[in-house]
Structure 1
């Protein structure tokens, strides 16, 4: 395959690459002809995208429909103070073009869903998963499997992170070999609930960028079947072996999944539960307007509440709900909200189990309220 030549400006920019055995001019030309789809421009996506752009990957696709929040700035280094309230994609594109104006950046202002996943991935060589929820991770894995493209996986939690490459077409396992089924709603806390040290996604996201560049260049060893676990407190990297599961529903010997559109990838990202009642933020606004005494409980954390709160709401963080159950009326409607709807859905499930049948989830949480 003939790769595009380097311009004079590119030779100056990538001079330190050109002198590396295994990269050199041919490798840099490979990078120029390569493309990566980045799912998310948050904690993991920020460092990964920055280093891919700086390295000269010719085309980078960004998928994100979120807006910059002040709580993002502690770890999402693509974004800054002046971008608060604005689309993350706008911030990311501006920053990456400042890093490297010689590459192409595609901005996809939408969620990565079963409806658009195949079309979004098709023009790119590989995918980097920078998301923080299980349904999208299943989707990234599944669509990559069917298109025979590598999925560079990363995850973070407080002081620990993980990174690997899922690529059954190259002889390794897939994400479903490691996690066969979707965890129950609330089985794993969100970043807002559990917290994460801001430096950690910088480390894991950089490792994802490294694995992507190795794949694009065809150098080094691809960590197929090897999950690298980083413990920041112990300053340790520990490899775990991941074996291909012959019973895997996707890449096993007798697969039962034949499309990336399936129950796991269709599951709600916010973990809202259709078995429980819910209302929209528009309906919430009407209720608060017609009845100021409407019971509205905010199950976010105090720092989130201090940043923005719906007037008339009562703060009871999800972790304190069981101990403060006597503060929740047992009769009548009790509306519950959080940031996006996931924690509040779990709170509603708990309250109904306690006999508070009027508990109702506010879909989309305060983010939807603020956008409205």
Structure 2
């Protein structure tokens, strides 16, 4: 299968920021934990975002705004009117366009320095592994378990950090998986692959700002992974109940019997 690809921009010289770039990223550079060296790391980084819906829209916009130098956007769906309630990278005049291209246009206007690649076909098999292997971090913003398990398998195989987010109704989840790094779990350690569940946002709905919250946190965790800043959510699952505005956290352990990352995998 051929993956349709549209590349925006030619990239930037990340080894030497010009005055405009120093001004654009000045509020991050002022942070002693980031400084110029940390911003250079971001400018030299490549992030793969799979799914440009409610989660992928804010995640991609914040990564572009923060100066992650290369963003690969993958989504094989098109923009519909019902998406616009929460998928903020798309606009009314984008209805009918492939979501990856619609989002690429928005990000190009937000930060023309960033190199953006839009992939408008489903990534599968070796093509999925190749894109994940070339990324420094993967953001799973998809909306189905088949895609999530395929992404997880490829991340485990290529030892690529994975930032996973999910939302439904008033509930959100966020986790970071770093396969091959110590005894850390993978997504399959948390969820067994038992086929597709019937419940999704299409059937159950979702409150508009909730994907924005979780998607923004995915961008935050991805930046921490790329820059080595602070402590990521690896080995932890963050849970949000937006109705009560309560946050809970679970500690995750690697399953030695996991069919993806276990000892017999």
Work out whether the TM-score is over 0.5: yes
Contact 1:64 1:89 in 2 (8 A): yes
Higher relative contact order (CA 8 A, sep 6+): 2
Q: Does residue 163 in structure 1 map to residue 168 in structure 2?
A: no
Give the structure 1 partner of residue 28 of structure 2: 17
Q: Does the CA-based 8 Å contact 1:159-1:232 persist in structure 2?
A: yes
Residue equivalent to 2:237: 227
Partner of 1:31: 42
Runs of 4+ with deviation above 4 angstroms: none
CA displacement at 1:116 relative to structure 2: 1.8
Aligned with 2:85: secondary structure? coil
Aligned with residue 195 of structure 1, among 205, 214, 239: 205
Contact 2:149/2:193 (<8 A) preserved: no
Match in the other structure for 1:92:
103
CA distance in 1, matches of 2:181, 2:230: 14
Structure 1, gaps ≥5 residues long: 256-372
Matched-pair contact (CA < 8 Å) for 1:168–1:174: yes
- Counterpart residue number, 1:244: 254
Provide the residue aligned with 1:213 in structure 2. 223
| CA drift at 1:109 | 1.2
Corresponding residue of 1:67: 78
CA contact (8 A) 2:240 2:247 kept: yes
Q: For each residue in 1:30-55, what CA deviation from the matched residue of structure 2 results, as whole angstroms up to 9, or x when unmatched?
A: 10000100001100000000000000
- 1:124 corresponds to 2:120: no
- Kindly tell me the number of residue pairs found equivalent between the two proteins: 251
Contact conserved, 2:166 with 2:214, CA < 8 A, in 1?
yes
Quote how far apart the aligned CAs of 1:136 are. 0.4
Q: Quote the RMSD (CA, aligned, Å).
A: 1.1
Aligned to 2:192, which of 174, 180, 184?
180
Q: CA deviation at 1:115?
A: 4.3
What is the CA–CA distance in structure 2 between the aligned matches of 1:217 and 1:196, rounded to whole Å?
A: 32
Task: Note if 1:6 corresponds to 2:24.
Answer: no
Displacement after TM superposition at 1:9 (Å): 1.1
Structure with max Cα Rg: 1
Correspondence for 2:117: 106
- Quick check: 1:112–1:136 contact (8 Å CA) kept in 2? no
1:133 equivalent in alignment to 2:140: no
1:181-212 deviation line (CA, Å, top 9, x unaligned): 223x4x34121101011110000000100000
CA contact (8 A) 1:40 1:64 kept: yes
The answer (yes or no) to whether the contact 2:101–2:120 under 8 Å persists in 1 is: no
TM-score (ref. length: structure 1): 0.66
Secondary structure at 2:151 match in 1: helix
Tell me, in whole angstroms, the C-alpha distance in 2 between the residues paired with 1:47 and 1:233.
21
